[in-house]
Amino acid sequence: MTVALLAQLTPAPGDIEGNVRRAAGLVAEHPEADLAVFPELYVGGYDLTAARETAVEPEGPELQPLRDAAREARTAVLVGFSERLDGPPANSLLAIDEHGELAGIHRKSALWGEESRAFSSGGAMTVVGVAGRRAGLMVCYEIEFPELARALAVAGADLLVTASANMEPYYDDHELSGRARALDNRVPHLYVNRAGAEAGITFVGGTRAIGADGQVLAQAGDGDEVLVVEVPDPPAGDGGPTDYLANLPASVAVVSGDESLGG
């Protein structure tokens, strides 16, 4: 069982110091949490025109208070940020382990809309060891692709985590996709969205913890809200991806319409 803090927050646009301080404060207030998750681009906000301006380095001084809070509370942290690179920044999800050390970075590969103008695309999916779990990481739009979550599960993820900045009018897309990705793979799923409005966009909240059977364990509304939930381990030997893939055919036969009708 993992205790998770799911922080559905409205970041202050461009206020890196204030947003990090707020996140660090929440981690300190909830030492019972094994894992704390914050939304997509939480550190600097979701203003694509400011992606370079708000970009920081994973081990830079801007994020040190959050690393300190993780170490002191013995809580692993996943937080979205604009990652400074040599070229365009990446829309990244930073993993900090319970010792305050960098555990991994996932760079969003499925960029949505104008994000492709602001960010470089990541080239791989990411499974990272945090809080005693193997967490498969996704960022927002990636939740809508079954293949991505399946690749994480096949790679050994026993928990899916999505950090999101989902907006109007796409609430239903992520409500369905979040539950489906858990059920597809028989793996619990933590989905953390942001709240509020920024750069002319209204974000829809709906942060939720989802069990391996696709059922919602806890859910937030559309405003700022923090959930502390118990996330069970996935059931063993239930026919999940690692159990049945070895028995699947190695190829797919494509039959033309005429042949399938005996013509």
pLDDT in tens, the chain (263 residues): 799 999 999 999 999 999 999 999 999 999 999 999 999 999 999 999 999 999 999 999 999 999 999 999 999 999 999 999 999 999 999 999 999 999 999 999 999 999 999 999 998 999 999 999 999 999 999 999 999 999 999 999 999 999 999 999 999 999 999 999 999 999 999 999 999 999 999 999 999 999 999 999 999 999 999 999 999 887 776 556 656 555 556 566 677 655 544 44
The whole-angstrom separation of Cα 140 and Cα 105 is 15
Q: Is 108 a catalytic residue?
A: yes
Q: Is 40 a catalytic residue?
A: yes
CATH of the domain at 172: 3.60.110.10
Instruction: Print the domain residue range for 152.
Output: 2-236
Out of 62, 83, 115, 140, which one is annotated catalytic? Answer: 140
Beta bridge pairs of residue 137: 126, 161
Angle of helix 64-73 relative to helix 16-29, nearest 10 degrees, comes to 0
- Evaluate whether residue 164 is within a structural domain: yes
> pLDDT at position 158, please?
95
- Evaluate whether residue 241 is within a structural domain: no
> pLDDT at position 235, please?
74
> pLDDT at position 249, please?
62
How many separate domains does the chain show? 1
Largest CA distance in the chain: 71
> pLDDT at position 261, please?
44
User: Which pTM does this prediction carry?
Assistant: 0.92
- Evaluate whether residue 134 is within a structural domain: yes
CA atoms within 13 A on the CB side of 212: 19
The whole-angstrom separation of Cα 263 and Cα 256 is 10
H or E element at residue 250: none
Q: Which two tokens stand for residue 6?
A: 């799911």
Out of 62, 108, 115, 142, which one is annotated catalytic? Answer: 108
- Evaluate whether residue 84 is within a structural domain: yes
Q: Does a cis peptide bond (omega within 30 degrees of 0) precede residue 169?
A: yes
Cβ atoms of 56 and 82 closer than 8 Å: yes
Burial class for 17, CB neighbours closer than 10 Å (0-12, 13-18, 19+): exposed
- Evaluate whether residue 126 is within a structural domain: yes
The whole-angstrom separation of Cα 128 and Cα 137 is 8
- Evaluate whether residue 242 is within a structural domain: no
- Evaluate whether residue 244 is within a structural domain: no
The whole-angstrom separation of Cα 163 and Cα 38 is 7
- Evaluate whether residue 192 is within a structural domain: yes
CA atoms within 13 A on the CB side of 25: 8
